[in-house]
Amino acid sequence: MKRFLSIVNGLVMTLLVLVALLSLSSAFSVGGVRTFSVLSGSMEPTIHTGSVIVTVPASSYAVGDIVTRRTENASVTVTHRIAEASEKGETTMFRTKGDANDIADSETFPEADILGRVRFSIPWLGYVASFARTREGFLLLVIIPAVIVVYEELRKLKDEVVRLWRKRRERKTLSRVRIDDGPKPDRPVARPVSVPEGNIGEMQFGGREDVPRKKIV
CATH code, domain carrying 28: 2.10.109.10
Domain tally, the chain: 1
In a domain, 208, yes or no: no
In a domain, 30, yes or no: yes
Residues of the chain with pLDDT under 50: 200-209, 215-217
In a domain, 133, yes or no: yes
pLDDT at 113: 94
pLDDT at 205: 45
pLDDT at 172: 77
In a domain, 164, yes or no: no
pLDDT at 28: 61
In a domain, 85, yes or no: yes
CA 52 to each of CA 21, 46, 127: distance values in angstroms, whole numbers, following the listed order: 12, 12, 8
What's the rounded Cα separation, in Å, for the pair 111 and 65? 12
pLDDT at 134: 81
pTM for the structure as a whole: 0.59
Portion of the chain with pLDDT greater than 70, in percent: 70
pLDDT at 23: 61
In a domain, 97, yes or no: yes
Tell me the H-state helices in the chain.
2-25, 125-132, 135-138, 144-180
Q: Mapping DSSP to helix (H, G, I), strand (E, B) and coil, where does residue 149 land?
A: helix
How many alpha carbons lie under 13 Å from residue 209 in its C-beta half-sphere? Answer: 0
In a domain, 134, yes or no: yes
Residue 137: domain span? 2-145
Q: What angle do CA 91, 96, 102 make, to 5 degrees?
A: 150
